[in-house]
Amino acid sequence: MSGERIVWGIGTARTIRAHWAMVELGLDYETRPVRTRTPDTETPEFRAVNPRGKIPVLRDREITIAESPAIVTYLGETYRDGPVLLVPDEPAARARYFEWLSFVSMELDATSLYVLRRHWSLPEIYGEAPIANEASEGYFARMINAATELLPDSPFILGEVFSGADILMTTTLHWAINYNQPLPAPFQAYFERMTARPGWLEAAEFNWRS
Ligand SMILES: N[C@@H](CCC(=O)N[C@@H](CS)C(=O)NCC(=O)O)C(=O)O
């Protein structure tokens, strides 16, 4: 089956989402170890795969798909008979799945951490913006603290079973910790539970050490 599935991208908080989903689902695949902001993202071959030049990208037989939340969801919807069900079936659980997916992608990633990525981590490209950085840190704190009230008193973000929403949240919390953003105690405990999971350990080793 390997060769029919390919993931482009290693080394970032977004790329690990694709690898972790593959690991949890027990799928064979090949990796193209393209790293962000390297000449590898500029090649005609990679631009043919993703004209936006961004990682991760998944190819699964005839479909090529970018955007890490979409990749995790596509895999969860497509591979439903594996060891885990990444996207739940039941309508209320599905609604929560998409709510968390959207919250993590928009409020924690795009609006907070990615602003810091641009203006704190890469000011030579995107410019210095100390006010935007400060506002993003404040916004991240406000959102993650508010979300604590919605975090169920159970092992996973959707309750009793692991899902793709845990992949999105955990990888984003890992990014936040690397950017020195404090987490409320329930999310810190959640993060420690999730990162003790064998699937995380295998994907993290592969994503950051290969
Ligand atoms: N929303 C996209 C973001 C993808 C993205 O920005 N990836 C980064 C690496 S984590 C990248 O390829 N950056 C290169 C660039 O912005 O030129 C996702 O979640 O996959």
Please report the domains of the chain, with CATH numbers, ordered by start residue.
5-85+202-209 (3.40.30.10), 91-197 (1.20.1050.10)
Q: How far is the CA of 18 from the centre of ligand 1 (A)?
A: 13
Q: Quick one: pLDDT at residue 27?
A: 98
Q: In what order do the strands lie in the sheet with 57-60?
A: 30-32, 5-8, 57-60, 63-66
The predicted structure's pLDDT at residue 210: 79
pLDDT tens digits, one per residue of 103-146: 999 999 999 999 999 999 999 999 999 999 999 999 999 999 99
Q: Could you read off the pLDDT of 3-40 as tens digits, one per residue?
A: 699 999 999 999 999 999 999 999 999 999 999 999 99
Tell me the HSE value of 152 on the side-chain side, using a 13 A CA sphere.
15
Mutational test site, ligand 1, from 55, 67, 72, 121, max ligand atoms within 8 Å of CB:
55
pTM for this prediction: 0.97
pLDDT tens column, 141-176 = 999 999 999 999 999 999 999 999 999 999 999 999
Residue minimizing CA distance to atom 18 of ligand 1: 67
| Confidence at 2, pLDDT banded by 50, 70, 90 | low
Examine the pLDDT at 58 and tell me if it is beyond 80. yes
Segment 85-111, tens digit of pLDDT: 999 999 999 999 999 999 999 999 999
pLDDT at 91: 98
pLDDT above 90 coverage of the chain, percent: 98
State which H helix or E strand residue 15 sits in: helix 15-25
Tell me how far the alpha carbon of residue 36 lies from the centroid of ligand 1, in angstroms.
8
Q: Phi and psi at residue 79, in whole multiples of 5°?
A: -110, 90
Looking at the predicted structure, is the pLDDT value of residue 1 above 80? no
